[in-house]
Structure 1
Amino acid sequence: MKKLPFLLFSFFSLSALAQSDAIRTSIAKKADALQPKLVAWRRDFHEHPELGNRETRTSAIIAKHLESLGIEVKTGVATTGVVGILKGGKPGPVVALRADMDGLPVTERVNIPFASKVTTQYNGQDVGVMHACGHDSHMAILMGVAEILSAMKKDLHGTVKFIFQPAEEGTPRGEKGGAEEMVKQGVLENPKVDVIFGLHINSAIEVGKITYRPGGTMAGVSDMRIIVKGKSSHGAYPWQSIDPIVVSAQIINNLQTVVSRNVDVTENPAVVTVGVIKGGTRFNIIPENVEMLGTLRYFTAGDEKLVTENVRRIAIKTAEAQGATAEVKIPFSNHYPVTFNDIALTAKMLPTLQASAGKENVMLRPPVTGAEDFSFFQEKVPGLFFFLGGMPKGTNPAIAPSHHTPDFYLDESGFGLGVKALCNLTLDYMASK
């Protein structure tokens, strides 16, 4: 008789495990059955991309789909965002799931029937528009998750908040948007979100695989502007000038020491890149000013402070040494925090990812120096952001077309795994509470 409580505990634990496996199997079958819809949604979004804060057609399709599932829908969040709230039949936590919606000012080169032919204006320039980062697939996947979970509404132990976010890639000059603006407008409140999950498809990860990293997984980013002010002169008499072009070249060279000599690269990587340098109007005139634009990347708050302070000091002091001045603004127009996967949450949910894809298909990855504004959500609530394979099997990752390029390409057969993973993360997290 003394062993009965333990036996009962074992029995109920095994029953719960069996039930979980049964639900997982059911979700897998439903996700596989949804594959034609996932592909159709993705191709429609791909053929009709919209830039950040302009996703009106996109958000209307998403809102209509969520409403058809009986999900409470709010539109116009952070300009064009859509938020769906699915209240389960049983009490429990609030789980948020996020997909981004915007395309990029890229002209597509891929020879596919649903290639984008859309053109528009971006910051005063005529540009093509393309889903060159996979946001079309993210939306399709989350729409599939909503369809599956809404059919389980009465059995859900909690609430699911579906966040379809505009402007992840940024907004046109002078506008606000993206995850930061959604947070400011209360997307994580009413009801208050307990945890958030998100994924990003990757064209250099083989389809069927998932990669993840606890802690800093994608870099924090600040852009910078440095204006070097010197003294103009005729190009034939450089001794009469304080040449801001020469000073700028010295600043660029000296900035290379920030990563190589200031950052402890055994702990965290960092990046200092000058991507734009503008100065002068004619070959024989030394200009008065030079403007430089660049990006800083880092993986901890401490490294952000270190990199920022050293860039500012080097630019100002290098200019002073030559009799010039340097004005440094960091950040200049945007700043994303580090995409930081809550360590305890990542460890807790890793078995779910492994059960979704197969343990052999879930791999730890190194830090990514790209940035993601999913980080604004993670600043407020624990979050897990992982990567989903979108590269055709057998492709060499080194030659797979990169994100943000005209040749970006995805294998659509991996979308179902994204649906399974997000559904299972939601249900397993709810079960754990």
Structure 2
Amino acid sequence: MMKIRLCSLLLLTLTAGAIAQVNPKLQARLEQQARQLEPTVITWRRHLHQYPELSNREVKTAAYVAEHLRKLGLDVQTGIAHTGVVALLRTGKPGPVIALRADMDALPVTERNNLPFASKEKAIFNDQETGVMHACGHDSHVAILMAVAEILSKNKSDLKGTIKFVFQPAEEGPPAGEEGGADLMVREGVLDNPKVDVIFGLHIQGIRKLGQIAYKPAGMMAASDWFTIKVKGKQSHGAAPWLGIDPIVVSAQIISGIQTIVSRQTQLTKEAVVISVGMIHAGVRQNIIPETAEMSGTIRTFDPAMQQEIHEKLKRTATLIAESAGATAEITIDRKTPVTFNDPVLTEKVVASLVKAAGEENVARIPADTGAEDFAYYQQKVPGFFFFVGACPPDTDPAKAPSHHTPDFMMDERGMLTGLKAMLNVTVDYMYMK
């Protein structure tokens, strides 16, 4: 244990060496202002939570954010990637262009919490009426970045370079038939004019200990691919299956077969891989063997070469299993989100900033997370660093806390102060890195 702690301290010492000394008075002032602004951050978050909007529909949210940024005297652009908002803080001094990102969209989830600011909003999603809820903490991300913008604006004379505040729509994915999210933000030039040197982002986690910050160099969150396999057999009476080719049985064999791609054909000691079938549809009546069956699922990978290998093996496995039964299989794979890749050099430099925000005992390097995050699109263009901030209520076991994307999702609002301090630290420290 002593050896591990000494190694940790040595790493932090080396990391801190990459950062020029930030004025101690500025550091203290940022800390004080963050604490003073905490009640306002909570107020902002509760307003956003009560009035959530779905992906590409964040009209009122964007207006709320833009009004705040304009009051700060920032150069504000709206309507980027449909409803995105971008603001610039120009210090007038030479220095890096640092982008900070928050996602704004909510989910088609009906809230079950008894909070006084619980969402009562309704919307149409996939042609069905649904409740709308910030069931993933994006409301807190927006509130935190609004606060970062306010505090840095107040301290403009002590800063250098340019800070670009990016409020992004549709992180959860645009509606069917639409484009959106980080991919569209990048294509519409959010990383240009001025050209961004580095980008930072965070994600609140209601399933992580309150006040803890977690990170991982390199592949932190998975690439997410969606696949569909259409199996075509031959229809027959359910009483005489030998007269047909049963696509349901073939589909079951394919589902079992593709799991061996993970368990027997992939070097899992290199990186993790997940293949999950989430939907299967076939038939209209109990005594009719249908002609076709269709299944859909997701692939999660952390290495581009392994990702391509998995795609090829999935196609081969499904095709040959179908052919062995006299059926055919048509496979399509849609690359949805790249790997959330934390630049290793940048990560090493900013760990000390996280420690200043939360304390060494509350900063943890974690294994890769098989969730996906479209922050990855920014990281494909510029060095980026993404981290988690814990917000599980202290009286709740994180292992038993309601998951994100569920009606019972809950977060402790005190976690936002940790996130606010962390974003302030990584931003200001990076300005003064040697």
Q: So what's the TM-score if we normalise by structure 2? A: 0.94
Aligned to 1:347: 348
Q: Does 1:112 align with 2:112?
A: no
Unmatched 5+ residue regions in structure 2?
1-15
AA aligned opposite 1:115: A
Change (3 A) 1:83 1:18: closer
**Matched residue type, 2:149:** A
Q: Report the CA distance between 1:423 and its aligned residue.
A: 1.0
Q: State how 1:216-235 maps to structure 2 within 5 Å.
A: 216-235=219-238
Look up the equivalent residue of 1:343 and give its one-letter code: P
Distance 1:191 1:242, change over 3 A: same
Distance 1:186 1:87 in 2: 18
The answer to whether the 8 A contact 2:22-2:432 is kept is no
SS at match of 1:355: helix
In structure 1, the residue matched to 2:4 is: none
Deviates most, 412-421 or 279-288: 412-421
Specify the code of the residue in structure 2 equivalent to 1:337.
P
In structure 2, C-alpha distance between the alignment counterparts of 1:383 and 1:166, rounded to whole Å = 19
Answering whether residue 135 of structure 2 is matched by residue 132 of structure 1, we say yes
2:284 corresponds to: 281
Q: Partner residue of 1:387?
A: 388
- Secondary structure of the residue aligned to 2:355 is helix
Q: SS of the counterpart of 1:91?
A: coil
Which residue of 31, 34, 40 corresponds with 2:34? 31
| Partner SS state of residue 144, structure 2 | helix
Flag structure 1 segments of 5+ consecutive residues without an equivalent.
1-12
Aligned ranges for residues 45-56 of structure 1 at < 5 Å?
45-56=48-59
Contact 1:89 1:155 in 2 (8 A): no
Indicate the residue corresponding to 2:269 in structure 1.
266
Whichever residue aligns with residue 364 of structure 1, its letter is R
- Aligned to 1:181, the other structure's residue is in SS state helix
Q: What is the CA-CA distance between 1:22 and the residue it aligns to?
A: 2.6
* Partner Cα distance (2:21, 2:181) in 1: 41
Q: How does 1:335-414 map to 2 (within 5 A)?
A: 335-414=336-415
More off after superposition, 365-374 vs 257-266: 257-266
Counterpart of 2:164 in structure 1 is 161
Helix, strand or coil for the counterpart of 1:295?
strand
Q: Kindly report the root-mean-square deviation, in angstroms, between the aligned alpha carbons of the 2 structures.
A: 1.4
CA 1:18 to 1:98, structure 2 compared with 1: closer, same or farther past 3 Å? closer
- Encode CA deviations 1:303-350: one digit per residue, 9 max, x unaligned: 11111111111111110110000000001xx51000000000000111
SS of equivalent residue, structure 1 residue 112? coil
1:106-139 deviation per Cα after TM superposition (whole angstroms, max 9, x unaligned): 1111111011111111111111110000000000
How many residue pairs are counted as aligned between the two chains? Answer: 418
1:143-188 deviation per Cα after TM superposition (whole angstroms, max 9, x unaligned): 0000001112232210000000000001111000000000000100
Question: For the Cα contact (< 8 Å) 2:171–2:182, is it kept in 1?
Answer: yes
Equivalences for residues 208-357 of structure 1 within 5 A:
208-331=211-334, 335-357=336-358
| CA–CA distance in structure 2, aligned partners of residues 288 and 109 of structure 1 | 41
What's the offset of the Cα at 1:19?
4.8
Map 1:128-207 to 2 at 5 A.
128-207=131-210
Of 342-351 and 411-420, the range deviating more from structure 2: 411-420
**Paired letter, 1:236:** A
Q: Is residue 211–residue 387 contact of structure 1 (8 Å, CA) maintained in 2?
A: yes
